[in-house]
């Protein structure tokens, strides 16, 4: 199954909720990921640009994005980004495909 990494930041309301009722949100996140038919591999609270990083596996990228949209609709998130992740071996295969396709593209100018 494809692996996805989701980066999220809490909105003002989300931070206010975390401060007023501190909690470990892993089970809530896992329930949403499970509902989407995906699997939560890891959840991390982070400092810096993002407050939260999730690593999930989902059969389809649309499932991963839809789960994020459902969470964002609650208003506790101000930023959400989901990207697909590949192992180095998988990415080598993608680069090999690109090499086969490269002749079909002509740059502008």
Return the number of other C-beta atoms located less than 10 Å from residue 8's C-beta. Answer: 23
Q: Which residues pair with 57 in a beta bridge?
A: 3, 39
Residue with tokens 């407050």: 51
Alpha helices in 1-109 (DSSP H): 12-20, 26-35, 61-72, 88-101
Confidence band of 89 (pLDDT split at 50, 70, 90): very high
Encode pLDDT of 34-74 as tens digits. 999 999 999 999 999 999 999 999 998 899 999 999 999 99
Predicted pLDDT at 103: 86
User: What CATH class has 3-104?
Assistant: alpha beta
Q: What are the strands of the beta sheet with 77-85, ordered from one edge?
A: 39-45, 52-57, 3-10, 77-85
Q: Could you state, in order of their start, the residue ranges of all structural domains in the chain?
A: 3-104
């Amino acid at each position: 199954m494809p692996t996805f990494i989701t980066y999220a930041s809490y909105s003002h309301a989300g931070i206010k909720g975390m401060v007023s009722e501190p909690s470990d949100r892993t089970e809530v996140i896992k329930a949403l990921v499970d509902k989407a038919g995906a699997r939560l591999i890891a959840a991390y609270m982070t400092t810096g640009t993002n407050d939260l990083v999730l690593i999930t596996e989902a059969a389809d990228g649309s499932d991963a994005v839809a789960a994020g949209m459902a969470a964002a609709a609650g208003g506790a998130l101000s930023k959400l980004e989901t990207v697909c992740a590949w192992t180095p071996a998988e990415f080598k295969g993608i680069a090999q495909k690109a090499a086969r396709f490269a002749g079909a593209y002509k740059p502008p100018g």
